Structure 1
């Protein structure tokens, strides 16, 4: 199971690093003190898998740091260390004191960090007060809950995402814009009305039944998957005046990678919420797109997604194609057809791979179709707006917080402050067609 990136709790040594078991009797690696295990067997598995090669490097890193006093140390000092060692995941998430930003290798010899008993994701050294803001702790408790959901989900199904959308197609169109938030979507537009008085606007359970609590936590966690479809639907409503009567829609997903493919079954929600829609076509385009054969950049195979029995009986369908390569190259192929909407989720084009993205961004600034963009953090949006401004782009929707962002927070490794969190598709905007 630990072949994938471990949950935050495992990286913070609150779960076994190998099997992700929740245990009150975890034992740390005596050499590097950076990973914890629930048994000798789990420790041996991790040692043989990759820790043997990594442990010596971590020990050397601990020795190179040595003791640091708690005074006069600031967040920038910790941040600089993070960036320097960014290639090693467990160093990026290594526990540190919430107040003086020291790692365990930097505090008094033999002393240990103490973990917050509520969130298990915040630590304190012996020299500092073991407290942090209650609202922040509550958010981190959500991350801890979601980690446990993830562990259970992978054990039961082998998957890391869950989908909770409308069970049956709606017979009448209710605009997504009429919903205030996810609570409205689930209890009024979708079919989870029975939960109206059992969860709040933040999708937190308000009762005492364990099974109901697990269900509510599951649909909140599932928003990290269906955020893609609802964000797309909100954009479609913003650009297509007659969306309630449209029979077909063509969407291009630019820079598509694992998260977009994991959410693919949830695209049926567009069929369920748009009663007139009978055909939805998706094109996944990007350098990391999976293609079924080596010549995926030259040819496209048409695939279909399995829909529910009701949609299938009604003759409704979802088809998709994949193309590996940059979008600006795709538009010059015979396979290209102008989409109703293109979308790039978390492209990060103002931060990462700017040179690779720029020709695509330059094309989209004056494309014959609108393009939706999302980002997790505000500084990404600010950087992107500068680039669009230099290209003379206009917007159907200016950059703003997306009410269909995922409701499951994630810890930010290189944050501007301790315990900063981000949300999937937190920000969004739509570039206007020319």
Structure 2
């Protein structure tokens, strides 16, 4: 974890004053804001989710705007948000696409469109977000929209100036790879170029962070031609598919071509994606379980071992291993105030997503021949909020593997220690009561550094892992030199390591690099049947992974290697 040496002239004093004001709001808030003062925090959504319970204490005054001059402007924007008014939307760890498309729910209270008797009304200024009442509109204006609305209008004006430049449509994606290699026709404009220009305009005044950037990255566009509603001579809301409530089209011409880019299968997947997003909001608003994701564990440790490789898929897993899963999901979903008819299926997706990690780990244990071990030490490399937020599901290691009695998990990554504090993770015995009654243990440690630094400067002989896990590392693209040092360290240890990736292209690129480094593969890159179940929707992804319907998944591909 890198200490913050300079917060900009005068900003440190202002921050100290703000922290003193916060003391009346409890030790937990004081602790986390103290961490923000000491370290550069990038887990914007994580910090927000922890600090903003709902219902909430009285709002505080926004932090002084002079902090925007700091070289750490994005961090200071986070602090300003933390010290600003609490609103319903801030119970979410990040913005939902339902908020971003602007026509599916009230931007302030998050009430669904079909739950609003009078319907939703667009903001008359930017026409990008909607409200169920004048009261919500006024509250949102005070809390955040006053800063966003002028910037949205500038982006809208930009879109109107390029009406004549035809964007690259999804219908032309078949030839796009050739087009990218030899771009010469100035009448075409790549979607990504226009997006970057929008983002530059949007953040001319507002400090950029990954959450507010989503307003541009995930705005509503025509599924066929990629236009926004503002690229028309006159603004008109797009028509929306009644099957999925996600896909939109801008004209009769695009509607005629919709079937070529929106199949029945595509529609069905997106319908569940919408349901997942809606039920996630309702679950957060309900305040259940501290607003964390639901984590349903199997009730008891198993007496016999069923190889995970013999289980066909998630449905088979729930039938043979966890038959109580669906009834628990149904009972919880029906207890929420939600209007989505597919709420149970959406809730199942939300509950299954955290289990993706532990089942991938069990598959790696199996592939590495470690299923009969009584003790295991597992290292997570590059660990951040995704790994740490689902830490409770690691209990399934003790429940699924009958021989396993003690497991220690070491989370290593620049954000690992901070995330452990934010999620209030303990360093004691984390095993459930039934496991502790059998004298089982599940412990964890958290280290805020790069993995190779941890292994060479901090770890002792007793810290050598039995298995290394790296989820969606992207190590050939993200800080490749640092990751090369980490991979070299893993290979020198001679222990099995399981890596996952978002796509086959990424996995095969990593395969080539690892082979050049002398890695031996226990499992060649292949689809991971325990991948995440919630799609990462990206229309441009169809370019690079034909047949993906423009969707990716967490830990979509996996492989296992050793030195």
Instruction: Give the TM-score taking structure 2 as reference length.
Output: 0.68
1:234 matched to 2:363: yes
Going from structure 1 to structure 2, the CA distance change for 1:141 and 1:124 (only over 3 Å counts) comes to: same
Task: Tell me whether 84-93 or 22-31 shows the greater mean CA deviation.
Answer: 84-93
Going from structure 1 to structure 2, the CA distance change for 1:347 and 1:385 (only over 3 Å counts) comes to: same
1:325 matched to 2:461: no
Aligned counterpart, 1:389? 515
Shift of residue 280, structure 1, vs aligned partner? 0.8
For 1:42 and 1:422, the matched residues in 2 are separated by: 35
Going from structure 1 to structure 2, the CA distance change for 1:80 and 1:39 (only over 3 Å counts) comes to: same
Aligned counterpart, 1:135? 265
Judge conservation of contact 1:93–1:413 (CA < 8 Å) in 2.
no
Aligned counterpart, 1:18? 108
Aligned counterpart, 2:244? 119
Q: How does 1:157-196 map to 2 (within 5 A)?
A: 157=288, 158-192=290-324
Aligned counterpart, 1:100? 225
Shift of residue 214, structure 1, vs aligned partner? 5.3
Aligned counterpart, 1:377? 503
The CA deviation string for residues 219-239 of structure 1, in whole angstroms up to 9 with x for no partner, is 333221010000000000111
Aligned counterpart, 1:37? 131
Going from structure 1 to structure 2, the CA distance change for 1:154 and 1:72 (only over 3 Å counts) comes to: closer
Judge conservation of contact 1:251–1:341 (CA < 8 Å) in 2.
yes
Shift of residue 50, structure 1, vs aligned partner? 2.7
Pairing partner for 1:152 from 263, 282, 294: 282
In structure 2, the gaps of 5 or more residues are 1-87, 171-188, 200-207, 331-338
Aligned counterpart, 1:411? 537
Shift of residue 302, structure 1, vs aligned partner? 7.6
For 1:253 and 1:394, the matched residues in 2 are separated by: 20
Q: Secondary structure at the match of 1:149?
A: helix
Going from structure 1 to structure 2, the CA distance change for 1:220 and 1:174 (only over 3 Å counts) comes to: same
For 2:267 and 2:127, the matched residues in 1 are separated by: 25
Q: Secondary structure at the match of 1:346?
A: coil
Pairing partner for 1:345 from 461, 464, 471: 471
Going from structure 1 to structure 2, the CA distance change for 1:350 and 1:360 (only over 3 Å counts) comes to: same
Shift of residue 189, structure 1, vs aligned partner? 2.3
Aligned counterpart, 1:426? 556
For 1:107 and 1:211, the matched residues in 2 are separated by: 32
Judge conservation of contact 1:99–1:128 (CA < 8 Å) in 2.
no
In structure 1, the gaps of 5 or more residues are 200-209, 295-300
Pairing partner for 1:79 from 168, 192, 202: 192
Judge conservation of contact 1:372–1:428 (CA < 8 Å) in 2.
yes
Shift of residue 53, structure 1, vs aligned partner? 1.9
For 1:89 and 1:193, the matched residues in 2 are separated by: 33
Judge conservation of contact 2:326–2:348 (CA < 8 Å) in 1.
no
The CA deviation string for residues 380-427 of structure 1, in whole angstroms up to 9 with x for no partner, is 223323332332322111111001112222322753459622212111
Aligned CA RMSD, in angstroms, stands at 2.9
For 2:358 and 2:442, the matched residues in 1 are separated by: 13
Task: Tell me whether 358-367 or 26-35 shows the greater mean CA deviation.
Answer: 358-367
Aligned counterpart, 2:95? 6
Q: Secondary structure at the match of 1:161?
A: coil
Shift of residue 361, structure 1, vs aligned partner? 2.5
For 2:340 and 2:223, the matched residues in 1 are separated by: 34
Judge conservation of contact 1:351–1:383 (CA < 8 Å) in 2.
no
Q: Secondary structure at the match of 1:304?
A: coil
Task: Tell me whether 315-324 or 50-59 shows the greater mean CA deviation.
Answer: 50-59
Q: Which has the higher contact order (CA 8 A, sep 6+)?
A: 1
Aligned counterpart, 2:59? none
1:57 matched to 2:151: yes
For 1:355 and 1:84, the matched residues in 2 are separated by: 30
For 2:365 and 2:236, the matched residues in 1 are separated by: 56
Shift of residue 303, structure 1, vs aligned partner? 0.7
Aligned counterpart, 1:109? 234
Aligned counterpart, 2:27? none
For 1:188 and 1:293, the matched residues in 2 are separated by: 33
Going from structure 1 to structure 2, the CA distance change for 1:420 and 1:171 (only over 3 Å counts) comes to: same
For 1:180 and 1:262, the matched residues in 2 are separated by: 27
Q: Secondary structure at the match of 1:276?
A: coil
Judge conservation of contact 1:248–1:279 (CA < 8 Å) in 2.
yes
For 2:163 and 2:169, the matched residues in 1 are separated by: 12
For 1:430 and 1:80, the matched residues in 2 are separated by: 37
